[in-house]
Chain A
Amino acid sequence: MKDKLLEVIDHLRSKGIDYADARYVSIESESIDVKDMQVDAMVHDINQGVGIRVIADGAWGFAATSILTAGSLRKTANIALQVAKASAMTKKEDVRLAETEIHKGTYSTKYDVDPFSIKPKQKIDLLLKANRVLKRKKAIHLAESILRFNRTKKIFVSSEGAEIEQDFIESGGGYAVTAADGSEVQRRSYPNSFGGDFACAGYEFIESLNLVENAERIREEAIALLTAPPMPSGEADLVIDGSQMALQVHESCGHPTELDRVLGTEISLAGGSFMTTDKLNELKYGSDIVNIYADATVEGGLGSFGFDDEGVEAQRTPIVENGMFVGYLSSRETAPVVDRRSSGAMRAQSWQHIPLIRMTNHNLEPGEWELDDLIADTNGGYFVETNKSWSIDDRRLNFQFGLEIAWKIENGKRGQIFKNPLYTGMTPKFWNGCDAICNRNHWHIWGVPNCGKGEPMQVMHVAHGTAPARFRNVEAGVSK
């Protein structure tokens, strides 16, 4: 396949293009959904194709095809060229790409057990076993569990001479249990909501989730929520669990530091960003203990890779240091605007999508607290866990998150349970109220397999390393 891609690049060179790259992607995926004690869906998919990106007459064009013959690829390259010439009809200035090192390299996910080597029966039995525990009480109306596996191969070549081959293995899963009593319906999820937890890892990651071992606790919490009071409204100190912290980082720091959003090129769908270029190195984004890095090099993260889809090597990029906003996620086209080189954040969902600036592993560095000590130190506050809903304005300032469960912190421990917890705030004020972050013992990289951006919508796999953290004087329990 690499030779075919190189032929395409040669073909485009002969047409006088400014730049071209060609990217082959093949994704084999397996998904298993078990609902109560039945296998609701089991699907296997193989999807492959080539996307060709061209700069001609100073403007971008892109075309993609699933027909992989040499003739089809040449035809697709010609279409990309025509598309670029159409784009040039409205250009204001020529597209220029920042200099980057040209790589010829390979990268592979490290894993112990190939998940595709595990028999479907073993996978189904694991989910059925978890569901059996979850369904053991009458109040449980529904137990749903899933497993997901992907094997991805990427080959990237460019007119600048890049030749990169990468192989990825992703594994993930989890469950949700719904308790109902006729009028009230409550849900608990493990290890996270909306599918569970995911990593660039093999089947050993699934075994590490301890799905069955946690089922009884999650079931009992769901049942307890049926009779729990709603979280009271008002200002409160919150200790937010690691999985919700992952989404908090994602929505209020990840997306607003994507430089394409900042420059207005995603405004029509996802919106812009309050973290404009005049605020770089000027904005006190959070308190002094807040340090956030975009780190594509960390092992096992769902946002880890060797090279992005422009051939730029994976990096660890400072975003917030000691509370100051210091960096962006960027591409070769956008980085020069802030006088920097690409942060290596350009990724496409698959062959038929153009690369966009995407989060990698956008990690909040751990602090110094043990979780028990932090809870003991937050009397009168709440410990909140597991995201249920999310919403944020189109510049990423005003957010509102709903969660599955809250515990009032009484006598230094988690006490009464409250249902439908919710908190809201304005991003910089909220992060400046962060006065404690748990240590590395409680730090985990949460895989987020459903980050949406772009038109047509691209769903990207990203991750966030986070630990539970405390925020002072948060507007909580706000509802109708």
Chain B
Amino acid sequence: MIGKDKLFTLIEKAMEASRADQTEVVVAGSSSGLTRFANSYIHQNVAVDDVKIYFRVAVGKKLGTASCNSLKLTDLKRAQRIATQIAKRQKENPDFDGFAKPGNYATTDTFDEKTSRFKPRQRASKLKRVFKKGEKYDYSMAGAFSTGDGEIAVLNSNGVRCYQNFSSASINVIASGENSSGYAAGISSRIDDVDIPGFAAIAVKKCRMSRDPKELEPGKYDVILEPAAIAEVFEWLNFVAFGSKAYEDQTSFLYGRIGEQVAGENVTIYDDALETGNEGLPFDFEGVPKKRVDFIKNGKAEGVVHNLISAKKAGMESTGHGLPPELAAEGALPLNIRMAAGNQSSDELIAGVEDGLLVTRFHYLNGLLDPRQALMTGMTRDGLFRIKNGKVKHGLKNLRFTESMMDAFKNVTGISNERTAVASWWGSLGSMYVPTLRIKEFNFSGKTDF
């Protein structure tokens, strides 16, 4: 890590040379180690240091962006000069009202020294224990184990000076047998909070429970969706429903339905980077303080997230969900999706299913079939089980679902009181925090051979 003081000094020096009316700089640096394993040995093992510096400048209402991955002052000044040249050749953006003003930023706990310093040898030692768990049943263990740290800084000519360092540890484990597999995963900013042998044990247990899977015809079934499965759904809703672009484009299922009941009263889905215990960045990539945004509250559609420009278009204030400048065309997106917990344990949810299925995770979801209806499709994998009379009975061959999430959210009959952090596209700073759900009459439309 470069560190706050050194970074601010360097970037401020580069900003002094700016000839634009306004200048904004975002720095995103990371030092990460990732160990991939398969067939119960390490087959890929990497250590990468990188930093990216974005200059976004305004000449009047014209915006230009340029970036580089060099911290040499000459390269920084060059990127800034290119950004200014682009801005001068640009059309005016009527929705640009200036970069962010300094705000009141919350303090979030996102860094752990031990995790930051975790070494490849330490990862290998932990993985030896994972492989040991599979040996007993001759299961092949596969997955990825990463540790690392990073830092984000946002500075602008209005006086914004934001900085946050963070660390991350995550693992996913698949145990594979002759005709079955099991999965478990975890993520935290602290390595000590990631129970690696525990996840390996769950993966092995699921692999054993799902061996010799039976075939089941597609149809409507009551389902238990475990956190990894529901997080896959949220990952897609992130893009097709909860972001500012989907709403502006009128493709979000929330569009035109704000204030309407779009889900059961027990469903509350929101974004909150400041929630204790699973915290993210307290500011966005425009230097705006993060706010909690409810997408669905007690079943009613509430709204979507915004950055400075999308907020101006919508006649609102930024909610602090601006992305790095290279993703500007995506609008604002939530990075910290959560679903409110319910009041039953996961075992109690299963006990309430007379005849249904338990889904460990989905594979290759797609939410673009009909986004206005939040229609999605995807496959189950690594542990699909039949539940009979409140008990998990046996494994099943995988099924394809095709279902409107609007319908599914109306059919939620139970939500667990425990929630789990699940890795998302933004790593530890953007992990989701989700419960297990029980949903009635979930639609499975196809099947496969394994």
- Kindly identify which residue among A31, A48, A89 contacts B128, using a CB–CB cutoff of 8 Å: A89
The 0/1 profile, CB within 8 Å of B marked 1, for residues 341-379 of chain A is: 000000000001010000000000000000000000000
A148 to B276, CA, bound (A): 41
CB distance from B408 to the nearest CB of A (A): 11
Contacts of A395 in B (CB 8 A): 448-450
CB contacts (< 8 Å) of B38 on chain A: these are 264-268
CA of A76 to CA of B249, assembled, Å: 46
Is the pair B381, A66 in contact by a Cβ cutoff of 8 Å? no
- Cβ contact within 8 Å between B69 and A47: yes
Query: With A59-B42, A86-B120, A389-B366 given, is the CB distance from A394 to B131 under 8 Å?
Result: no
Q: Are B123 and A45 in contact (CB under 8 A)?
A: no
Contact status A352-B50, CB under 8 Å: yes
Once the chains are docked, how many angstroms separate the CA of A42 from the CA of B70? Answer: 20
Contact A86 B123 (CB under 8 A): yes
Q: Which positions 442-468 of chain A face chain B at CB distance < 8 Å?
A: 455-456
User: B125 contacts the other chain (Cβ, under 8 Å)?
Assistant: yes
Nearest chain B CB to A210's CB is how many angstroms away? 24
Task: Choose from A49, A89, A92, A354 the contact partner of B46 (Cβ within 8 Å).
Answer: A354
**Residue contact A392 to B364, C-beta cutoff 8 Å:** yes
Question: Is B93 engaged at the interface, CB distance under 8 Å to the other chain?
Answer: yes
CB distance from B212 to the nearest CB of A (A): 18
A424 touches B400 (CB 8 A): yes
B413 CB to closest chain A CB (Å) equals 19
A159 touches B (CB below 8 Å):
no
Cβ distance B213 to chain A, nearest Cβ, rounded Å: 14
Judge if A398 is at the interface, Cβ distance under 8 Å: yes
Q: Which of A362-418 contact B (CB under 8 A)?
A: 388-395, 397-398, 400, 402
Tell me if B298 counts as interface (CB < 8 A to partner A).
no
Residue of B nearest to A65 (CB): B49
B142 pairs with A44, CB closer than 8 A: no
A434 contacts partner chain B, Cβ-Cβ < 8 Å: no
Residues in A neighbouring B70, C-beta threshold 8 A: 46, 48, 66
Task: Please tell me if A62 contacts chain B, counting CB pairs below 8 Å.
Answer: yes
Chain A CB within 8 A of B403 CB: yes
Q: Are A400 and B69 in contact (CB under 8 A)?
A: no
Q: Is the interface of B mostly helix, strand, loop or mixed?
A: strand
A264-B37 Cα distance, complex, nearest whole Å: 10
The answer to whether A39 touches B90, judged by C-beta atoms less than 8 angstroms apart, is yes
Rounded to whole angstroms, the CA-CA distance of A296 and B93 in the bound complex is: 42
How far apart sit A268 and B44, CA to CA, in the bound complex (Å)? 13
Instruction: Check if B89 sits within 8 Å of A120, measured CB to CB.
Output: yes
Residues of chain B in range 92-146 having any CB-CB distance to chain A below 8 Å = 93-94, 119-121, 123-125, 127-128, 131, 140, 142-144, 146
Choose from B140, B379, B443 the contact partner of A264 (Cβ within 8 Å).
Answer: B140
Q: A89-B121, A455-B36, A478-B446 are in contact. Are A63 and B400 (CB under 8 A)?
A: no
The stretch of B20-28, B186-194, B325-333, B385-393 that contacts the partner chain: B325-333
Contacts of B249 in A (CB 8 A): 141-142, 178, 185
Most chain A CB inside 10 Å of its own CB: which residue of B125, B146, B448: B448
Contacts of B398 in A (CB 8 A): 393, 398
A67 to chain B, nearest CB (A): 7
Do A92 and B142 contact each other (CB < 8 Å), given the known contacts A67-B49, A398-B448? no
Chain B neighbourhood of A184, CB < 8 A: 372
What are the interface flags for B47-63 relative to A under an 8 Å C-beta threshold, 1 for contact and 0 otherwise?
A: 11111100000000001
Per-residue interface assignment for chain A, residues 77 to 113, with 1 indicating a CB less than 8 Å from any chain B CB and 0 otherwise = 0011011111101111000000000000000000000
In the complex, are the beta carbons of A479 and B402 less than 8 A apart? yes
The digit string for A39-65, where 1 denotes a CB below 8 A from any CB of B, is 111111111110000000001111111
Contact A391 B378 (CB under 8 A): yes
A60 near B39 (CB under 8 angstroms)?
no
Report A-chain residues with C-beta under 8 Å of the C-beta of B146.
455-456
A87 to B35, CA, bound (A): 8
Bound-complex Cα distance A263 to B43 (A): 12
Considering residues B124, B443, B447, which has the most beta carbons from chain A within 10 angstroms of its beta carbon?
Answer: B124
Residue B176 at the A interface, CB < 8 A?
yes
Chain A minimum-CB-distance residue to B65: A43
User: Is the pair A90, B369 in contact by a Cβ cutoff of 8 Å?
Assistant: no
Q: Verify if A33 is at the interface (C-beta below 8 Å from B).
A: yes
Q: Are B125 and A267 in contact (CB under 8 A)?
A: no
In the complex, besides A44-B67, A63-B47, A265-B38, 7 extra interface pairs with C-beta distance below 8 angstroms are A42-B65, A46-B79, A47-B68, A49-B69, A86-B123, A268-B38, A424-B400
The 10 A-B residue pairs with the shortest CB-CB distance in the complex, in nearest-first order: A86-B120, A398-B448, A389-B368, A33-B329, A41-B328, A389-B366, A265-B38, A89-B124, A393-B379, A87-B42
Q: Which residues in B have some Cβ–Cβ distance to A below 8 Å?
A: 32-52, 63-70, 75, 79, 82-83, 86, 89-91, 93-94, 119-121, 123-125, 127-128, 131, 140, 142-144, 146, 172-174, 176, 248-251, 256, 325-326, 328-329, 363-372, 375, 377-379, 381, 398, 400, 402-404, 407, 443, 445-450
8 examples of A-B residue contacts, CB within 8 angstroms: A44-B65, A60-B44, A79-B47, A90-B131, A142-B249, A180-B250, A268-B144, A479-B445
